[in-house]
Structure 1
Amino acid sequence: MSLILIKNGHVIDPENNINNQFDILIEKGKIKKIDKNIEPFAGCEIINAENMIVSPSFCDIHVHFRDPGQTYKEDIRTGSIAAVAGGYTTVVCMPNTLPAIDEVSIVRYIIEKGEEVGLCRVLPSAAVTKGRKGKELTEMWLLKDAGAVYFTDDGAPVWDAFIMRKAMEYAGSIGSFVADHCEDLSLSNNGVAHEGEIAAALGLPPLPPEAEDTMVARDCILALRTGMPVHICHISSKVAVETVAWAKALGAKITAEVTPHHLSLTDDEWLDFDCKAKVSPPLREHEDVEAVRWALASGVIDFVATDHAPHAHQEKMLEHQHCPPGMIGLQFALPTVLKLVKKDYFDMKRAIEVLSTEPMKKIGLTPPAIKEGETAELVIFDPFESWEVNEETILSKSKNTPLIGRKLRGKVKYTFYNGKIVYSDKSGV
């Protein structure tokens, strides 16, 4: 339909300083008018957004769509479906594919496949080192020129500090950055659960927080000394948060992300020995969860990234030492952040910033604007509606989450991308 009228929605656009109730008229994919009361036109589709939030759509700079190589877990189409159901219209795929995203042809494949699916903007990151083996830098300039938005060996740390420093300098010199999976493998030592009371009581191989803390400290110091940017993936520990705060205060160009599961779940999830609780870094104790929540509120942590990591059911049924770490997250980020709004960690404006505008700016893109003349790229969500997480409501190909059977509050009703409705909770994609 060429005319869509969104009525009575509470519009929040942090970049354009909008935080009020407005009607929005969309004509042929463009926002034609924003006003307090717009009368409906003949033949106009009306969306009643009363008691709902209308905001720029979301951006996730850390997802695993498993394409190429492991599409039995997820692929670009099913990942895109899960993304728009969660309100996301921009996602960045991680390079731990088979083969790794370390060549121009694979970068182009990801972009072209995303455009072919057409539900959202699918962008690739590229590996820091060839094959993600930590030994030889990739051709960063060529990969960036082909469309890679940043560089990471995610799933594996850049172990060698000399190589990490060179990578930061190289990426920074071409207007990009390195994002690091911070884990000292000699300290993690094949641990599966956070080193604490739960792991000790259940006899699970412990993974000490120092494995994360020491690598975060190394990267912060390298950023401080080189003057180049570094991004800390899925930060989870209290000490790591304090280290990032210290380095930022000294002027280091550091950003950090936090996942929905590290904001909402603790190592208590291991109490029934369910390997759906296995993630990397591990789910931690309550004091760590509190630390990352307040760090997100204060800006020490810059935004939320889901680390959406699909795995097949049979893989997550393996023993804890053999099953792969990771859980899905694209449809759970909004309810997680809204829960923090309800608990007064921050307001709704900050919620939109951490889900939408801040991650967009980090990867050098202009955030979608709710502004007359702009293409409609927005999300309408009900912050109060409850829904149950089950195999029907999860739209990812994989279902690996400990949230199965639980109720969440906050539901995406419509997602607009490139001027079109690409998702509604009534009709799906």
Structure 2
Amino acid sequence: MLPVEYLRPGVEPDDLPALFPLLRARDALNAFTALFRGTDEDVLVRLLVLREIGQRGEQPLWSPQELRSHFAYLEETKLQTVLHRLRDTDLLVYNAESALYQIGPYGRMALSSLSVLLRFSEEEGGEIGYITSQVAASQSLGKVAHEDLQHLLSRLNELEDEFNRAVLSGSEVRIRRAEKKLGSVLMWVEKGTQIMKVIAADPELDEVTHRVAQRIGQVQSRMLRMSSIFQRTLNQLERQKVHLGQSGLSTSDIHAWLRLLNTNQLCGLLGDAVSFPAQLGCLLGDVALDVAEYELVDRLRVEAETATLPPPQEAPSAEAIPMTAEDLSRLHNFLDELAGVMEPLPLEQAIPAVDFATSSYRLSLAALLGDPESGALDGGVADLARLPVALKLTGGTVKVGAFEIDTMSEGAMVEKKKKRKPVVDAESITAGETVSAAPA
């Protein structure tokens, strides 16, 4: 069980789903721990003895005399120590009845994993081959390991990012190095593509694993196109090379030669090539002035500005908020004029005043005369609605020619005889063709 000192307070090891597979494989992990624990020399000797014992397939059983004879180049005490260590961890099994040694189950698995690891470690790009082989083995056994697919997807994404950054760098050396690395992994990418096609076509594959397999196939397809991208970028760089006269040398040749020199040789090449202090005659005056103005003025101004927030204040109460009184002077003026109407007053005389906006406002107020809903309220509009005056329209139009009004509806203000709700046409007033019209 994982010691609690590795966990935060309140976290239980049983609550960690990722820990369960490791605990279930504790025996196998203990075998690997015993195999690789200690100094580098101890680990190498254990691996050496275990591999030598495991390589005799025809006769897998070893007697102690055969072991001493086979490992005669090892010191006797050290050999016995290694054999006891392997036997105590079940990597090596000793049969007391026959007095013979043989490789244990976990020892076989360790040797098999080590054999694959050593074989791929000798190849460039072997890590992608190793992971691909694990996926292929899982697929051939009929059970694709989701963890192996995630490892493969992660490594492919790392390689794709590395290749893309090489192209963006514009460095010929870096692009050629990436192109060489792509060539070493291209065979495994192609094999991985074939494996992914088989995996993705499996109808019994779960949705999560199928989605990961699809993403792997997409990354592999993009990597297969990287060769053409490298070649196109290198062709562009080739066109940008500078050749030194008729010597056949280019800037790429000079770069390659300079990379072969050490630091002292590079410093010796400088000689008088650099003069100190640098001459400023190449600088443009206006550019230097802009830079100086920023450094001496703008930068200091920004640093001197205070960016602190003002101190907190209480929100003002509703009574303290100033209220602007509504201007109802036009309503009151119109109300006073209509209060004295005793005889019919034509609309072209009662409505127009000041300008078109004021006249439109007065006509809209006139539409409220006798309105019972408006009369039930309080205020100036209610007083207007309760006036004993009615608005009558004839349906025709009359020429005005004043107060920015060209024509308006024909009608009159009359003393109200009975209650009636007037109806006003929405187009009762039309604005004149000019901004201001002369009086008729």
- Where relative contact order (Cα < 8 A, 6+ residues apart) is larger, the structure is 1
Same fold (TM over 0.5): no
State TM-score, norm by structure 1.
0.20
Q: Which has the higher strand share?
A: 1
* Bigger fraction of residues in helix: 2
TM-score normalised by L of structure 2: 0.19
